[in-house]
Amino acid sequence: MKAYKDYTTDELNALYRSLLVQYKEYQARDLQLNMARGKPCVEQLDLSMGMMDVLSGDSDLLCEDGTDCRNYGVLDGIKEAKILMADMMEVSTDNIIIYGNSSLNVMYDTISRSMTHGVMGSTPWCKLDKVKFLCPVPGYDRHFAITEYFGIEMINIPMSPEGPDMDMIERLVAEDDSIKGIWCVPKYSNPQGYSYSDLTVRRFARLKPAAQDFRIYWDNAYTIHHLYDDDQDHLIEILAECKRAGNPDLVYKFASTSKISFPGSGIAAIATSHNNMEDIRKQLCIQTIGHDKVNQLRHVRYFGDIHGMVEHMRRHADILRPKFELVERILHEEMDGLEIGTWTEPRGGYFISFDALPGCAKAIVARCKKAGVVMTGAGATYPYGIDPADSNIRIAPSYPPLPDLEIAARLFALCVKLEAAKKILTERGEAVPAK
């Protein structure tokens, strides 16, 4: 296939009319398909149903140390759960606090606590004239929503396959003490599926921020979410690297079992330095007497240990891998050589990142919706919902069944073609039908 830019205007007009006929045929099918979020599908949720049977009315709900999980107490999580989550997060049990079901909730609490009470004795952010956060883009919309909610100014940091632009990060944090943090999804990043290189992690650990209360918000959401057994990304462990660099307090590391067990009732954790943990406990002991220890015990008895969890994730991969490969195959079949879009092919995580021709993303997503396929809103992968190039689109293959996913992917490719042809024709001064 030749590139759209190499078509004559007459050829491109004829192509556009042909594509429009195909599009109207999709519209006539009255589709109702959803690729908006990275939700586990029913088959994935079914993998964890055995967790419902590991505890019953006559179960022993005592931990190995005698803790009764039905009662109050154990602020930072039962020992067994700390071992399980620490192994998953590749940290010591001495550096971990177990929370409730949502790591996003933990991140929100961490920002909120910093706003009202500061970080380890520093001035509360709410008393400062300006608070800023660095945001690798494209990135996770819910991260950006938290900082926007608290009125924190967000600064875009470009991403590459090696991770965020470290030259830019090092310069900004060194010269501006109003920069208090950076959002990171370091492994199989949302949405591109990139994993930070060893050099990038080491440079993070050796940052010299002007603000003593600067923290790296290291959301390792996809730490064991591989798609392949024999082709996996590996990440240097950030807490150990920070300690080696003489910056032990620099990072908060977050994770949960939300896409391992049940998204609505997993367990979440934060891993950080001893000093940070003591700071967090001051608030936590006011906030709660203890999180759901029964659920923590349920997870431990179901998975057993990290090996059981890894084996469980292989079954998740068996379900997800064909979906990712299907979407990638269709994108190649439909668009190779056309020079109208590029996309990532991650080895793990939950998303494929697609970059259309500049100025086309919103129109593509809107056109998909009109034909019955809902996608993540264009711009959602940038702070304030503003993609300066109007180019990036997040594709979430996990939820639809394979037959529906094929329809959705082909319709998506069709919409990309339509909007690309329309853009080129418009740039050539041609009138193009609006519908």
Residue pLDDT, tens place only, 105-156: 999 999 999 999 999 999 999 999 999 999 999 999 999 999 999 999 999 9
User: How far is residue 182's CA from residue 230's CA, in Å, rounded to a whole number?
Assistant: 32
Q: Which residues pair with 154 in a beta bridge?
A: 133
Q: Are 68 and 244 in contact (CB under 8 A)?
A: no
- Residue 253's pLDDT is 98
Closest C-alpha among 321, 165, 185 to residue 255? 185
- Residue 434's pLDDT is 62
Alpha carbon of residue 348 to chain centroid: 11
pLDDT band at 430 (very low <50, low <70, confident <90, very high): confident
Where do the domains of the chain lie?
Answer: 4-44+310-427, 62-304
pLDDT of 435 over the 70 cut = no
Q: Are 237 and 91 in contact (CB under 8 A)?
A: yes
Q: How many CB atoms lie within 10 A of CB 247?
A: 18
Q: Are 379 and 361 in contact (CB under 8 A)?
A: yes
Given CA atoms 289, 295, 298, 300 in this order, what sign does their dihedral have?
negative
Q: Compute the average pLDDT of residues 71-97.
A: 97
SS percent in the chain: helix, strand, coil, step 5: 45, 15, 40
Q: Under DSSP, is residue 302 helix (H, G, I), strand (E, B) or coil? A: helix
Verify cis geometry, omega within 30 degrees of 0, for the bond prior to 388. Answer: no
pLDDT of 431 over the 90 cut = no
pLDDT band at 247 (very low <50, low <70, confident <90, very high): very high
CATH class of 4-44+310-427: alpha beta
Q: Which has the higher per-residue pLDDT, 431 or 28?
A: 28
pLDDT of 303 over the 90 cut = yes
Q: What is the Cα gyration radius of the chain?
A: 23
Closest C-alpha among 342, 423, 354 to residue 4? 423
For the segment 39-69, what is each residue's pLDDT rounded down to a tens digit?
999 999 999 999 999 999 999 999 999 999 9
For the record, the structure tokens of 434 come out as 């609006």
Query: What's this model's pTM, rounded to 2 decimal places?
Result: 0.96
Given CA atoms 112, 115, 116, 117 in this order, what sign does their dihedral have?
positive
pLDDT band at 174 (very low <50, low <70, confident <90, very high): very high
User: How far is residue 224's CA from residue 233's CA, in Å, rounded to a whole number?
Assistant: 10
Domain 4-44+310-427 matches domain 62-304 at the CATH topology level: no
Share of residues in the chain with pLDDT > 90 (%): 97
For the record, the structure tokens of 180 come out as 């208090």
Q: Which residues pair with 184 in a beta bridge?
A: 218
∠ CA(178), CA(183), CA(184), 5° rounding? Answer: 140
User: How far is residue 370's CA from residue 366's CA, in Å, rounded to a whole number?
Assistant: 6
Q: Under DSSP, is residue 79 helix (H, G, I), strand (E, B) or coil? A: helix
State the average pLDDT for the chain.
97
pLDDT of 258 over the 80 cut = yes
* Helices (H), ranges, 90-231: 103-117, 141-149, 166-175, 198-205
User: How far is residue 374's CA from residue 393's CA, in Å, rounded to a whole number?
Assistant: 12
Share of residues in the chain with pLDDT > 70 (%): 99
User: How far is residue 365's CA from residue 411's CA, in Å, rounded to a whole number?
Assistant: 11
pLDDT of 267 over the 90 cut = yes
For the segment 322-366, what is each residue's pLDDT rounded down to a tens digit?
999 999 999 999 999 999 999 999 999 999 999 999 999 999 999
End-to-end CA gap in the chain: 25
For the segment 183-228, what is each residue's pLDDT rounded down to a tens digit?
999 999 999 999 999 999 999 999 999 999 999 999 999 999 999 9
- Residue 324's pLDDT is 98
Report the amino acid identity of residue 295: N
Question: Exposed/middle/buried for 316, CB within 10 Å: 0-12, 13-18, 19+?
Answer: buried
Domain 62-304 has CATH 3.40.640.10: yes
Q: Under DSSP, is residue 364 helix (H, G, I), strand (E, B) or coil? A: helix
pLDDT of 304 over the 80 cut = yes
Q: Under DSSP, is residue 115 helix (H, G, I), strand (E, B) or coil? A: helix
pLDDT of 173 over the 80 cut = yes
pLDDT of 1 over the 90 cut = no
User: How far is residue 330's CA from residue 334's CA, in Å, rounded to a whole number?
Assistant: 6
Q: Output DSSP code: residue 72.
A: S
Tallying the residues shown for the chain, one arrives at 435
∠ CA(93), CA(99), CA(103), 5° rounding? Answer: 105
